[in-house]
Chain A
Amino acid sequence: MTTVETATGAAKTMVLNMGPQHPSTHGVLRILLELDGETVVKAVPDLGYLHTGIEKSCEDKTYSQAITLTDRMDYLNPLGNNLVYCLAVEKLLGLEVPKRAQYIRVMMVELQRISSHLVWLGTHAIDLGAMSVFLYCFREREEILKIFEMFSGQRMMTSYIRIGGVALDPPAGWRQAVQKFLNMMPTRVDEYETLLTQNPIWIGRTKGIGYISPQDAIALSMTGPTLRAAGVPYDNRKVFPYSSYEEFNFDVPTRTESDCYARYLIRVAEMRESLNIVRQAMERITDEGPVKAEAPGIIPPQREKMKTEMEALIYHFKIFTEGFSPQPGEAFVAVESPRGELGCFVASDGSPKPLRVHFRSPSFINLQALPKLIEGQLIADVVACIGTIDIVLGEVDR
């Protein structure tokens, strides 16, 4: 059991156990709150309830097998997890991914960003008492999941992004489906804004709540919308571009108020920017072209080739029995997930299984700043602050 040291003396304060089962913690998170009346004196997060040892399991699988585990960390951003892992392994291998596959990746992760922000907006609003927003958000999220199902056969755990490219060629009719979504979505975002942006209750619950200074945010290694709401324009897509993001034209929204309301405005603005990126990516994706890199022995050969070429059959057999062995070394790649900087560190010792896979999960590190946000605030604001840093407990505990 974790115990809390009393900061202001035992007689005045009481300790309240929030969670591990609490609807506003979005998973299984326990927070020990020391309260003086309704004011939080001290907060100690206690985590690990969803720890499944994904990093250890990765060490016992081949490089390609580990992709399916990455989906299950941040279950609102599975494509982003696939992407960062594949980018890290590709860096280890020195593999160049075809442009067409890179654009498909960009389009998919941006759709994923919108769907993740939709879940965030819906659940955050429900935490603060605005029930109907949730239904609207999940209606649009469903459309995005339908697009994912069309591309990969799966709604959530897609494992669509693979080492060297993506799993499959885009299906027939994908352009119409994505275009339909792009036509519909901007007015829907306006709809959410009419429900919330000027809503006096929403403003009362979020404005001026959960302030953190930019210096503190950087010192506590915060990234993502929370850091950008504090006025620091740090976005990996701009600062350290990957997967051809440097060719795209988009803005990084920032604000300076650094409260829950500013973070809400940032995420809504990011949804609009993501729509913009999806539109550009769609124009760049050609109808013909490879979706996987040409790398015998690493990328599985095409089915037709296996039936006519001896080498292709041997490679197929070797890749699926033994795997491939990158040269010894280490690679760290960071991408911008909906929650912040999602990093992947892969170390190879020259064997077909990774020596070490580590994920720098933004939820885990942003959660560290929670006590800073809520200490001195009212207990009702704790819910707003947990919601506003947008944690996914699957990723916090891995």
Chain B
Amino acid sequence: MTESSSQNANVVVETLRSWSPTAVAEVIEFRSETTVVVPRNLLRAAAERCRSDAKLQFNLLTDATCVDRYPIEPRFEVNYHLVSIPRKDRVRLQVRLTGQDPVVDSVVPVWPGANWLEREIFDLFGIRFNGHPDLRRILLPEDWEGHPLRKDFPVEGYRDVPSSGDLFKKSSML
């Protein structure tokens, strides 16, 4: 299993490298999964290559999500999980973004299914996707402030929650 997946990884990495020598910034192999880190400016072109190249055929974008590594910079990692139905293969494309400039090209022109997935990332992480046809919040109300899945957003939110000291004061008053 591990062997075949690393062979598959070679196919992806070789094809991308032969297309553009700078297309693969880093390759991470962990638990028989391959992550191909792509430079930000090449994401959409690399995605198009992954979908249309006869050797790759990653026709299904199954998932897109983000990881916030705050306070490490570049803090955001946007992951695209691709599946090739004809080749029975999976790969993860990753793009790293800084906190100052969390902008990346949208892959909606490549896989229309990325639409809501990127809206979700925009909503919860505040990453903007260039060329996205409909970049609005999707899960949270439109007047929500902040992006709750960022690590600097508290788990309990910003509501006015009385401190435990206040609660004790109140209960002794009753």
Interface set of A (CB-CB < 8 Å, partner B):
1-2, 47-48, 51, 53, 55-57, 59-60, 91-92, 94, 218-223, 232, 234, 239-240, 329-332, 334, 341, 343, 345, 347, 349, 355-356, 358, 360, 364-365, 367-368, 397-398
Contacts and interface: CB of A to CB of B under 8 A. Distances in A.
A355 B116 contact: no
A258 to B, nearest CB: 16
Interface in B121-171: 124, 136-142, 148-149, 155
Contact of B88 (A239, A360, A367): A239
Most buried by B among A221, A232, A360, A364: A221
A40 to B, nearest CB: 18
20 contacts: A48-B138, A48-B139, A48-B140, A48-B141, A56-B149, A56-B155, A59-B155, A60-B155, A219-B111, A220-B112, A220-B113, A330-B30, A331-B31, A331-B33, A332-B92, A356-B149, A365-B113, A368-B116, A397-B139, A398-B139
B15 interface: no
Nearest to A333: B33
Interface stretch (B18-26, B41-49, B63-71, B96-104): B63-71
Contacts, number: 100
A43 to B, nearest CB: 13
B81 A360 contact: yes
B60 A218 contact: yes
A332 B81 contact: yes
Nearest to B112: A219
Nearest to B141: A48
B129 to A, nearest CB: 15
B65 A218 contact: no
Contacts of B111: 219, 221
Nearest to B140: A48
B85 A218 contact: yes
B88 A221 contact: no
Contacts of B61: 221
Contacts of A220: 112-113
B8 interface: no
A345 B65 contact: yes
B116 A330 contact: no
A367 B136 CA distance: 17
B60 A221 contact: yes
A356 B140 contact: no
B75 to A, nearest CB: 12
Contacts of B113: 219-222, 365, 368
Interface of B: 30-31, 33, 35, 59-63, 65-69, 79, 81, 85, 88, 90, 92, 111-117, 120, 124, 136-142, 148-149, 155
Nearest to B115: A368
A365 B116 contact: yes
Contacts of B140: 48, 51
Contacts of B31: 91-92, 94, 329, 331
Contacts of B35: 330
A349 B69 contact: yes
Contacts of A397: 139
A358 B125 CA distance: 13
A51 B139 CA distance: 6
A331 B28 CA distance: 12
Nearest to B144: A48
B50 to A, nearest CB: 14
Contacts of B68: 356
Nearest to B113: A221
Contacts of B124: 55
Contacts of A232: 85
Most buried by B among A55, A60, A332, A367: A332
Contacts of A239: 85, 88
Contact of A218 (B59, B79, B92): B59
Given A221-B62, A365-B113, A240 B139 contact: no
A225 to B, nearest CB: 16
A355 to B, nearest CB: 7
Given A1-B142, A330-B79, A360-B63, 19 more contacts: A2-B136, A47-B139, A53-B148, A59-B155, A218-B59, A223-B60, A232-B85, A239-B88, A240-B90, A332-B81, A332-B90, A345-B81, A355-B67, A356-B67, A356-B68, A356-B149, A360-B65, A364-B120, A368-B115
Nearest to B150: A56
A343 B67 contact: no
A329 B112 CA distance: 29
Given A48-B140, A345-B65, A234 B85 contact: yes
Contacts of A2: 136, 142
Contact of A343 (B63, B69, B138, B155): B63
A2 B30 CA distance: 42
